[in-house]
Amino acid sequence: MKRVDVVSAIIYDEEANLLTVKNVKGYWELPGGAVEKGEHLQQAVIREVKEETGYVVKVNELHSVREAFFQDKKHHALIFTFFAEMIGGEMNILDPDQDIEEVKWVSTQTFQKLNPKLYHMLKLNQQTQAFYDFEGNRTIG
């Protein structure tokens, strides 16, 4: 299995809405993606958020580290999720991979309906300290 490092960002606006992206495969998730060679995690978060949403962010503390095996792609993924705050830019999809079809701000309750599995895995219904979780074998989506 190929090891892949992935980052994502939890970004809230002033009304406590969460920034989300809709993947071309039809599911809603947090902005993020694979860490490129030579990048550190925070650089990858900043790049991925800019590419997928058009916003410039400042990376804050770590939210979680999750681990999963994606059997279909034969990937062993470490998923690093950070809290981040928007410091500039405007909503615009700049994704060179064309994986994102929509960006929107949603309430946490709406995100729970859009992607209940990710909502639960990220423990968004709880105030938690940074955590690690092994999620086992997964399929994308």
Q: Which of 36, 67, 102, 135 is catalytic?
A: 102
The answer to whether residue 85 is catalytic is no
Per-residue b/e over 61-96, b at no fewer than 16 CB within 10 Å?
eebbebebebeeeebebbbbbbbbebeeeeeebebe
Q: What is the pLDDT of residues 51-75, one digit of tens each?
A: 999 999 999 999 999 998 988 878 8
Q: What is the pLDDT of residues 3-46, one digit of tens each?
A: 999 999 999 999 999 999 999 999 999 999 999 999 999 999 99
Domains of the chain, start order: 2-138 (3.90.79.10)
Q: What is the pLDDT of residues 81-136, one digit of tens each?
A: 999 999 999 999 998 889 999 999 999 999 999 999 999 999 988 766 788 878 77
Nearby residues of 94 by Cβ (< 8 Å), 6 or more positions away: 50, 51, 52, 54
